[in-house]
Chain A
Amino acid sequence: MNKNEFLAVLKNALSGLPEGDVDERLAFYAEMIDDRMEEGASESEAVAGIGSAEEIAAQVIAETPMTKLVKERIKPSRGLRAWEIALLVLGAPLWFPLLVAAGAVVLSMYVVLWSLIAALWAAELALCAFAAGGIVTAAVYFFKGHSLPGIATLGVALLAAGASVFAFYGCAAATKGIVNLTKKAARGIKTRLVRKDAAK
């Protein structure tokens, strides 16, 4: 590999970084190669002495803070043209509400998910209340000497109590699931961002 090939590979591998940073780094490696050659190394020896361009790029990207990569990713690769800006401004009444609506849809989906969880917990609470109420009612029946309806009520109350224990585990598992899902979604977004930059 000669000097220009090495620099081209490096430049390509570093394209996820700010342009000024890349140029400065390329100049630094070019100087190193030139100095090695001046000392008597052949061009290919000098390039080989620096190491693999891909490995250097991987190391550089690993050392670059996440925020810098994100900024570079968000930044458009060229300035916006006048008609594009005009279109963006004129189109604002159209795209802005659409953007807000899309955000609202995602948010409401999330809210619906959590209200389902809330409903589950409400049902669980209702079962508990029903069981407690049943036991009190049964006690009243027994106290008044109506033992048959008392036994029936107590049976139903105990059933509800048993069901509420099962329902509790169900609710807890569902809540945990949603929390994990939220975490996973956040992680997924982040890794996608990094992977795109590293792959470039």
Chain B
Amino acid sequence: MDIQLKRGLLDVCVLAAIKDGESYGYRIIKDLKPCIELSESTLYTILKRLEAAGSLTVRSDEHNGRLRKYYRITASGLRRIEDFKTEWKEVISVYDFVTREDGHE
């Protein structure tokens, strides 16, 4: 898959995982498992990228006597998910058109 496309998909996947409330690293990986297998290193890079882009915010909180980082989606992050949805509706209609052509040949 095209690397730029894959990067965009991964970003939206992680955003979708924190869409309904804040989450932490290990839970994001577990929640995404049915959809995509993420390694810890890959997740780290994506979280950093999303934070820099202002799509999510990070806070540290105590959990069982240690610190855990929690990630919360921002308004701009939510907008990115919406953009993704409309964009991919177009992509899917293009896909339908292309495969329909295949059938006629």
A51 to B24, CA, bound (A): 19
Report the count of interface residues on B (CB-CB < 8 A): 14
Instruction: Give, as a whole number of angstroms, the nearest-CB distance from A119 to chain B.
Output: 50
Question: Is there contact, CB below 8 Å, between A32 and B25?
Answer: yes
Instruction: Give, as a whole number of angstroms, the nearest-CB distance from B30 to chain A.
Output: 9
A63 neighbours in B (Cβ, 8 Å):
45
Interface 1/0 per residue, B55-69 and A, CB below 8 Å: 000000000101111
Which of B9-17, B36-44, B88-96 is the contact stretch? B36-44
A72 within 8 A of B: no
A51 neighbours in B (Cβ, 8 Å):
39-41
A39 neighbours in B (Cβ, 8 Å):
26
Which of A23-31, A157-165, A181-189 is the contact stretch? A23-31
Q: When A and B form their complex, which 10 residue pairs have the shortest distance between CB atoms, in order from nearest? A: A35-B26, A32-B40, A56-B41, A28-B44, A32-B26, A59-B41, A50-B40, A31-B68, A32-B25, A34-B66
- Which size class do A's interface residues fall under? 10 to 19
Write 20 A-B pairs (CB below 8 A) sorted by A numbering. Answer: A27-B67, A27-B69, A28-B25, A28-B40, A28-B44, A28-B69, A29-B40, A31-B25, A31-B66, A31-B69, A32-B40, A34-B64, A35-B27, A35-B68, A36-B26, A38-B64, A51-B39, A59-B41, A60-B41, A63-B45
Q: Chain A residues in contact with chain B, CB under 8 A? A: 25, 27-29, 31-32, 34-36, 38-39, 50-51, 56, 59-60, 63
B40 neighbours in A (Cβ, 8 Å):
28-29, 32, 50-51, 56
Instruction: Give, as a whole number of angstroms, the nearest-CB distance from B59 to chain A.
Output: 13
A27 to B40, CA, bound (A): 12
Instruction: Give, as a whole number of angstroms, the nearest-CB distance from B56 to chain A.
Output: 15
Instruction: Give, as a whole number of angstroms, the nearest-CB distance from A156 to chain B.
Output: 66
Report the nearest A residue to B48, measured CB to CB.
A24
Report the nearest B residue to A29, measured CB to CB.
B40
A83 to B45, CA, bound (A): 42
B68 neighbours in A (Cβ, 8 Å):
31, 35
